[in-house]
């Protein structure tokens, strides 16, 4: 990375303050979208020569951008075909109009989907269903928006394709067979965390989830309420227009792509074939097949939200500028360095710094930077060996702690995860009042504490 100049840290701090101000207040006060705020930050670190244009371009992780484009394309096709809407409505039909079960769908159901379809895409997908549900139930939209945000953040933790920061860890850590490793170590605690979070939200939003007087007047008893709800959902499902050719092609390509992730790792593990395709290459091959065999390629491409890709590219440049300025190295010096020979201490240190600095940088750029810190501290070098020695296992667990903690950090404040920002950006134009910074923080502090404790116990004591 580019060496910082003596004045760079102070300039970087000023630029960071400007960007942070725009992220918090820019949407409402100046009508500046969050992705524009990040573009401004990227332009400022280049404009003030904190990093050169060449360094800025090199800082953009093409693997992440390519992977997101590939998966966004596949999910876009599933959305256009009507498959995703039908799946979501069928999930809702299982609730019988019970508000608590609907909450569970958004936390657990959407969370599990995000593990395989990228949490950023599920963030966009969930908004139309929240519009429908809040109209029918009269419950505050913020309840389900927060449930969706927490659910997709937690669910995305258990695979390397659930979110961009996990993908970065899978690519840069040297962990063999990351797809299998993530599910093996993070699968069970993630599912537990989804249900724990659902219970926390159920208690926290108990008053909101109770039937309002207007609903009681319409439905004389719970049986009639359930019957009418089920009939309405059934009618909605039947009225969905399915583009069958596109549905078949996109579903098949999604299945093949996910199987490709797994098969690539099995080949690597069994045959020690180190030149196996990366996750991003497989996702791009899936998208290429989709655009080749689908007649709706223009509509699919138009449906891809390129502002999210611009947001991530700008975020990489912005965070690289903070790193080059020396600002991040100064900030990390206040935290204990993880001891590669002490599993308890290293995982605690990784958790602390992940949750703290993700609030400043957002979890994706934080991981992009902290991966280098991990490697510089000796983590991951032994992971290139296929032998399952003790150091290999310990370092794998520490990388998994980084994945879990940096992901769960997104449940503390809205700024810590891009998916939170995407939900806000998607909800407000459609007339849904999004959650405030303070409301999210109040419930997020409880959820984050519970989640990180569960991950720490499992990673340190169960999978050692």
Would you say 349 and 74 are in contact if contact means Cβ atoms under 8 Å apart? no
Count the helices and strands in the chain (H runs, E runs): 24, 0
Give whichever of 159-168, 343-352, 363-372, 377-386 has the largest mean pLDDT. 343-352
How high is the pLDDT of residue 307? 84
Element (H, E) at 86: helix 83-93
How far is the CA of 197 from the CAs of 78, 181, 336, 433, in angstroms? 28, 24, 29, 22
Element (H, E) at 31: none
Terminal C-alpha separation, the chain: 34
The residue ranking higher by pLDDT, 234 or 295, is 295
Q: pLDDT digit string (tens) for 130-182? A: 876 777 667 888 999 999 999 999 999 999 989 989 988 988 888 878 888 99
Dihedral sign for Cα atoms in the order 379, 381, 386, 388: negative
Average pLDDT across the chain, whole number: 82
The label of the residue with tokens 């065999």 reads 293
Dihedral sign for Cα atoms in the order 155, 355, 338, 51: positive
Q: pLDDT digit string (tens) for 247-291? A: 999 999 989 988 887 787 677 666 655 545 677 888 899 999 999
Cα–Cα distance measured from residue 181 to residue 397, given in angstroms and rounded to the nearest whole number:
10
How high is the pLDDT of residue 289? 96
Q: pLDDT digit string (tens) for 76-111? A: 898 888 887 777 677 667 776 678 888 998 999 999
How far is the CA of 223 from the CAs of 98, 230, 309, 431, in angstroms? 11, 11, 46, 31
The label of the residue with tokens 């089920």 reads 230
Q: Please, which pLDDT band fits residue 386 given cuts at 50, 70 and 90?
A: very low
Non-local CB neighbours of 353 within 8 Å, separated by 6+ positions: 332, 335, 370
């Amino acid at each position: 990375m580019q060496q910082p100049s003596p004045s760079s840290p102070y300039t970087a701090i000023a630029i960071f303050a400007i960007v942070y101000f725009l992220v918090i207040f820019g949407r409402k006060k100046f009508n500046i979208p969050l992705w524009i705020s990040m573009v401004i930050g990227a332009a400022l670190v280049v404009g003030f020569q904190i990093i050169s244009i060449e360094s800025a371009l090199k800082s953009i992780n093409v693997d992440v951008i390519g992977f997101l484009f590939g998966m966004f394309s596949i999910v876009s096709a599933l959305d256009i075909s009507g498959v995703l809407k039908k799946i979501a409505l069928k999930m809702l039909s299982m609730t019988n109009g019970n508000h608590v079960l609907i909450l569970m769908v958004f936390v657990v159901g959407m969370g599990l989907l995000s593990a395989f379809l990228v949490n950023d895409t599920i963030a966009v997908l969930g908004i139309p269903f929240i519009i429908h549900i809040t109209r029918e139930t009269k419950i505050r939209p913020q309840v389900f928006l927060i449930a969706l945000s927490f659910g997709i953040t937690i669910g995305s933790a258990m695979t390397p394709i659930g979110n961009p920061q996990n993908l970065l860890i899978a690519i840069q850590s040297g962990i063999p067979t990351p797809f299998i490793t993530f599910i093996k170590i993070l699968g069970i605690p993630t599912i537990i965390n989804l249900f724990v979070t659902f219970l926390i939200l159920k208690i926290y939003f108990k008053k909101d989830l109770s039937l309002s007087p207007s609903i009681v007047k319409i439905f004389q008893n719970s049986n009639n309420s359930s019957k009418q709800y089920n009939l309405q959902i059934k009618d909605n499902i039947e009225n969905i227009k399915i583009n069958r050719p596109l549905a078949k092609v996109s579903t098949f390509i999604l299945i093949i792509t996910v199987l490709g992730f797994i098969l690539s790792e099995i080949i690597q593990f069994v045959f020690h074939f180190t030149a196996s395709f990366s996750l991003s290459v497989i996702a791009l091959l899936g998208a290429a097949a989709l655009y080749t065999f689908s007649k709706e390629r223009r509509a699919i491409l138009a449906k891809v939200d390129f502002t999210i890709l611009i947001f991530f590219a700008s975020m990489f440049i912005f965070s690289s500028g903070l790193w080059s300025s020396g600002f991040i190295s100064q900030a990390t010096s206040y935290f204990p360095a993880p001891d590669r020979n002490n599993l308890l201490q290293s995982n605690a240190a990784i958790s602390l710094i992940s949750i703290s600095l993700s609030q400043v940088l957002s979890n994706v750029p934080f991981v992009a930077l902290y991966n280098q810190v991990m490697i510089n501290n000796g983590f991951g070098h032994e992971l290139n060996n296929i032998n399952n020695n003790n150091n290999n296992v310990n370092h794998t667990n520490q990388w998994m702690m980084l994945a879990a903690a940096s992901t769960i950090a997104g449940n503390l404040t809205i700024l810590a995860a891009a998916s939170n920002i995407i939900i806000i950006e998607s909800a407000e134009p459609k007339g849904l009042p999004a959650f405030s910074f303070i409301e999210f923080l109040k419930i997020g502090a409880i959820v984050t504490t519970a989640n990180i404790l569960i991950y720490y116990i499992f990673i340190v004591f169960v999978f050692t």
